[in-house]
A and B are shown apart, each in its own frame.
Chain A
Amino acid sequence: MNADQVRAHIDPIRHEYAEARSLILPALKFAQTEKGHLTREDLEAVGEATGFSAAYVESVASFYDRLYLAPTGARVVSVCVTLSCMLRGADEVWDHLCEREGVSHHGGTSEDGRITIQEAQCLGYCDRAPCIQADAEETKGPFTPGSAAAFVDALRAAPDPHEFWR
């Protein structure tokens, strides 16, 4: 993404903030919608559009779990492993998905590049534990290992979204 595209997104909301620095996070999230992660060019574009250095922008971006500074799979699948989900079988879901996607028990990206599996801390869907989130847009549950695998298969087969909100 280039600085003009970022500017087009943040100029209409500039007046909502007393300091331009507040635009960095909205700009980063918007820049990420293009490829699903942030490249050096993206960081530079956000820096240029907001008036901060790319190094500063990167220092902000690196703080947040849901801003990705390296490529991910086409879809990011977050499996909640916090206590409420654990009590309802999150570990069994996690183990099964990691095995099926051929990634280590720390998570990772499947060989076909379609799916990144990652552990998530409490997603706020404990009433549907164990829950899984596809990017940041869709959270569902409760899952069994089998239904979780079917959910991931459906994501793998589905066309990618126009914008990646993760």
Chain B
Amino acid sequence: MPILNSVYRHREAGHVLTELVAYRAAGGFAAIEQSIGEMEPDDLLYVFHRSGLRGRGGAGFPMGRKASFLPKDAKLAKYVVCNADESEPGTFKDREIIEMNPFQLIEGMVLAGYAIGADRGYIYIRGEYEHQARVLDAALIAAREAGFLGDNILRSDFSYDITLYRGAGAYICGEETGLLESLEGKRGQPRLKPPFPAVAGLYSSPTLINNVETLSALPPIVTQGADWYAALGPEKSPGTKIFSVSGHVQRPGNYEVVLGETTLRELIYEHAGGLREGHQVKAVWVGGSSVPVLGAMHLDTPLDYESLNAAGTFLGSGGCIVMDDSGCIVRATLRLASFYRHESCGKCTPCREGTNWMERILQRMVDGEGRMEDLELLESLFGRISGKVLCALADGAVAPVASAIKMFREDFVAAVTDGGTPRPAPMSVVEVR
């Protein structure tokens, strides 16, 4: 139930922390002072490990474990890469970190860099976040001037700087190896794995890639201790997680909650202000759009990795899209299918062609040209796409379609028998702010 603003320090402070002095006054950079030159890098790595922090970008891999996969050989160039591509539909949590609290991300990247002995860090930010990129540009300059970045950070032996790299519009550059390709000046098409980035990443060097939220979680873990973090929420996946709530809710926005202590119902009804009078929840995509959809019967699921898995979906990025009973699940599913068709990078035939077919079939159902066999045709596609491709985009494309057909089959059947689905009225909005 409770909000705990650990990554969102600016909310705790009650004002934006885009000035270095403001971030310092809010306790910022204490983690760097406590660790750089004061702690052995391995001990810092062990703090990350013991905290139980899992990746917040989508896959949920334990952060400390991933960092420990990097070879210890001091002669090898090593890199930290921050994934700020934030393009998963319904996800806008990293945007707020960068806009309001950019120094916490920078501090987290310095901590991660020190722990793995990195030569340099890179922030890969989506091209559409030009405004946020400028906030980061200014923050990086200020951090450098104050001695938190650059040669001999805080007069230690550790030298490390961060480069901001702007993307140019491609969802697939959020996939970690697509991102690396793009950062290397190529088309952003994913690589065959293994080798994983921890072994051969940027310029074939060992590379730690983490999401903005993951890295921004590190400073409080250092100052308040791994034990404090590990005690928050469930044993297996503790900590706080930011959920971006959007769609048919009264108060769309970001909410940072302790994992496992808030249910989906509380997130929607208490934090996000609930639905319009007289409406019920129809469908929820809780972890961005690349996850199986949930229905009203899942509202009492606690928000944590294990509980959401048990409910048949994933925590993903925490981009929680809510649709009430005024919405049309067939049209919503088509809209997501169109997204993946557009964003498939085209490298693997099953994904390139499969996403195209999913969209076409759903489009004709919506248009009233669907056939009863189309449901089986759609279902026959899933197994021909999943597991036969290079990256997880394809599974992400299948998940919302397959789950919607399973959970709301009657709606898809009705689209065929009724000759299509009319466009429902959208939730009206208040004027531009």
- Listed in ascending order, the chain A residues whose CB lies under 8 Å from chain B are 13, 16-26, 28-29, 50, 59-60, 63-67, 78, 81-84, 86-92, 120-130, 133, 135-144, 147, 151, 165-166
- Listed in ascending order, the chain B residues whose CB lies under 8 Å from chain A are 77, 86-92, 94-95, 120, 126-131, 161, 163, 165-171, 182-189, 202-203, 205, 244, 246-248, 252-254, 285, 289, 319, 321, 323, 327, 331-332, 335-336, 339, 342-343, 345, 423, 426-433
Nearest chain B residue, comparing its CB with the CB of A81: B335
A87 contacts B187, C-beta separation under 8 Å: no
- Known contacts A28-B168, A142-B430: does B188 contact A91 (CB below 8 Å)? no
The contact sample of 11 A-B pairs, CB cut-off 8 A, is A13-B163, A22-B165, A60-B187, A65-B168, A87-B248, A88-B429, A89-B427, A91-B426, A124-B86, A127-B92, A127-B244
- Known contacts A26-B166, A29-B168, A130-B429: does B126 contact A124 (CB below 8 Å)? yes
- Of the candidates B92, B183, B428, the one having the most CB atoms from chain A within 10 angstroms of its own CB is B92
A87 contacts B203, C-beta separation under 8 Å: no
Query: Which residues of chain A are near B189, meaning CB under 8 Å?
Result: 63
B168 contacts A122, C-beta separation under 8 Å: no
How far is it, in angstroms, between the C-alpha of A83 and the C-alpha of B284 when the chains are bound?
11
A125 contacts B92, C-beta separation under 8 Å: yes
- Known contacts A124-B86, A126-B252, A143-B432: does B92 contact A87 (CB below 8 Å)? no
A22 contacts B185, C-beta separation under 8 Å: yes
Nearest chain B residue, comparing its CB with the CB of A122: B89
Query: Which residues of chain A are near B88, meaning CB under 8 Å?
Result: 122
- Known contacts A25-B166, A86-B332, A140-B432: does B131 contact A91 (CB below 8 Å)? no
Query: Which residues of chain B are near A26, meaning CB under 8 Å?
Result: 165-166
How far is it, in angstroms, between the C-alpha of A133 and the C-alpha of B170 when the chains are bound?
16
How far is it, in angstroms, between the C-alpha of A86 and the C-alpha of B336 when the chains are bound?
11
How far is it, in angstroms, between the C-alpha of A28 and the C-alpha of B187 when the chains are bound?
13
B183 contacts A18, C-beta separation under 8 Å: no
Expressed in whole angstroms, the minimum distance between the Cβ of A6 and any Cβ of chain B is 14
Nearest chain A residue, comparing its CB with the CB of B345: A63
Contact for B170 among A64, A129, A142, A147, CB less than 8 A = A64
B432 contacts A147, C-beta separation under 8 Å: yes
B335 contacts A86, C-beta separation under 8 Å: yes
- Of the candidates B87, B126, B252, B343, the one having the most CB atoms from chain A within 10 angstroms of its own CB is B252
